[in-house]
Amino acid sequence: MFTVSMLATIAFIAAFVAIPVDKSVYIFPLGHISALNFALGMTLGIALFCIGAGAVHWARTLMSDVEIADERHPIEAEPEVREKVFADFQQGAKESALGRRKLIRNTMFGALTLVPLSGVVLLRDLGPLPEDKLRHTLWSKGKLLVNMNTNEPLRPSDVAVGSLTFAKPEGLEEHDHEFQNEIAKAALMIVRIQPENIKDKRELEWSHEGIVAYSKICTHVGCPISLYEQQTHHVLCPCHQSTFDLSDGARVIFGPAGHALPQLRIGVNDEGYLEALGDFDEPVGPAFWERG
Ligand code: FES
């Protein structure tokens, strides 16, 4: 078998040199396939198979079946060594006076128990608790959707098929003290999908004539999503490649994200501008704390 393997490897090299790349061959039932690929696959397969089969065959037929076991040595120490260790230990305990000086011993244990408390108290300095701030965003009923690039309120006609529009709530300006914190929760991406292509019933109800608004914050670890594939309506998070299907409730179709992107319910006000019809109905971003 090892000889066959050697011959197959030589045949592999010869096939690589001799067979033109564009030559095809008819193999039943595969049909017409590349002669070079076929020859390389066959010869390499035979070479590897024969090495494996030869090794197994050798082990089964020629090697001895006798099992050899090596007994463990006892790991227990000699009695004299153990006696010496006990004696040393007792002498050490006696010299340290731990047994006699009860007050010193007890206060030492007390001090060792209390000292970690200072670390616990310092935890308070990590900042105020977020309370329910992470559950709410600036979106509320009647807030206009403002184009993040032009700073203009959006009309349905501004949202073209095939493009991804980024929006923020009206009244949130870049120079605001809390801008970064608020935009990190409220950032929206808006796309227009033909209503008949929207598979999720609630998504359609929460849209305006096929215009859907979703949180731009990835539910994995919170990167902003930025890539949109018009044909499939998939959006991709560049951080770890989580992919969401915007035509099907933004459910996760690939990657480490655990949840669909939250959708914002939108409509159009009397003046023809896109507006929110409320806040998100779930926390945006990686909402691990409430989902467990
Ligand atoms: S943050 Fe989006 S995939 Fe990780």
Question: Domain check: are 281 and 143 in the same one?
Answer: yes
Place of tokens 């529009």: 165
Residue 129 pLDDT class (50, 70, 90 cuts): confident
For residue 241, report the distance from its CA to the centre of ligand 1, in Å. 6
CA distance 213 to 144: 12
Task: Judge whether 10 lies within some domain.
Answer: yes
pLDDT value at residue 147: 94
- Burial class of residue 283 in the structure, from the number of CB atoms within 10 Å of its CB (0-12 exposed, 13-18 middle, 19+ buried): buried
Task: Judge whether 47 lies within some domain.
Answer: yes
Residue 220 Cβ contacting ligand 1 at under 6 Å:
yes
Residue 44 Cβ contacting ligand 1 at under 6 Å:
no
Residue 234 pLDDT class (50, 70, 90 cuts): very high
Task: Judge whether 159 lies within some domain.
Answer: yes
- Structural domain including 176 reads 133-291
For residue 159, give the nearest of 205, 201, 214, 199 by alpha carbon: 214
What the block records as the tokens of 32 is 């017409």
Q: If you average pLDDT over residues 91-115, what whole number do you get? A: 85
Question: Domain check: are 198 and 115 in the same one?
Answer: no
Question: Domain check: are 163 and 285 in the same one?
Answer: yes
For residue 146, report the distance from its CA to the centre of ligand 1, in Å. 25
Question: Domain check: are 168 and 260 in the same one?
Answer: yes
Residue 214: φ, ψ to 5°: -125, 155
Distance between terminal CA atoms of the chain? Answer: 57
The answer to whether 219 and 285 have CB atoms below 8 angstroms apart is yes
Residue 286 Cβ contacting ligand 1 at under 6 Å:
no
Residue 257 Cβ contacting ligand 1 at under 6 Å:
yes
Question: Domain check: are 17 and 50 in the same one?
Answer: yes
ω into 29 cis (within 30 of 0):
yes
For residue 213, report the distance from its CA to the centre of ligand 1, in Å. 19
CATH code, domain carrying 227: 2.102.10.10
Which atom of ligand 1 is closest in space to residue 221's alpha carbon?
A: 1
> Percentage of the chain surpassing pLDDT 70?
98
CA distance 170 to 143: 6
> Percentage of the chain surpassing pLDDT 90?
61
Helix, strand, coil % in the chain, rounded to nearest 5: 40, 20, 45
Residue closest via CA to ligand 1's atom 4 equals 240
Task: Judge whether 74 lies within some domain.
Answer: no
Residue 128 pLDDT class (50, 70, 90 cuts): confident
For residue 212, give the nearest of 250, 259, 241 by alpha carbon: 250
Please give the helix or strand (H or E) that residue 26 lies within, else none: strand 24-27
Q: If you average pLDDT over residues 197-222, what whole number do you get? A: 93
Residue 143 Cβ contacting ligand 1 at under 6 Å:
no
Residue 239 Cβ contacting ligand 1 at under 6 Å:
yes
- Beta bridge mates, 261: none
Task: Judge whether 73 lies within some domain.
Answer: no
The answer to whether 200 and 233 have CB atoms below 8 angstroms apart is no
Task: Judge whether 69 lies within some domain.
Answer: no
Please give the helix or strand (H or E) that residue 17 lies within, else none: helix 2-18
Indicate the number of domains in the chain.
3
Task: Judge whether 84 lies within some domain.
Answer: yes
- Best mutation site among 217, 220, 227, 261 for ligand 1 pocket (most ligand atoms within 8 Å of CB): 220
Q: If you average pLDDT over residues 254-282, what whole number do you get? A: 94
Question: Domain check: are 161 and 113 in the same one?
Answer: no
What pLDDT, in 10s, does the model give residues 181-196?
899 999 999 999 999 9
Residue 227 Cβ contacting ligand 1 at under 6 Å:
no
Residue 292 pLDDT class (50, 70, 90 cuts): very low
CA dist 215 → 223, 261, 280 (Å): 11, 6, 9
- For residue 163, is pLDDT > 60? yes
- Burial class of residue 182 in the structure, from the number of CB atoms within 10 Å of its CB (0-12 exposed, 13-18 middle, 19+ buried): middle
Residue 291 pLDDT class (50, 70, 90 cuts): low
The answer to whether 273 and 144 have CB atoms below 8 angstroms apart is yes
Residue at which a domain ends, from 93, 126, 159: 126
Question: Domain check: are 148 and 223 in the same one?
Answer: yes
- Best mutation site among 217, 221, 227, 236 for ligand 1 pocket (most ligand atoms within 8 Å of CB): 221
- For residue 287, is pLDDT > 70? no
pLDDT value at residue 136: 87
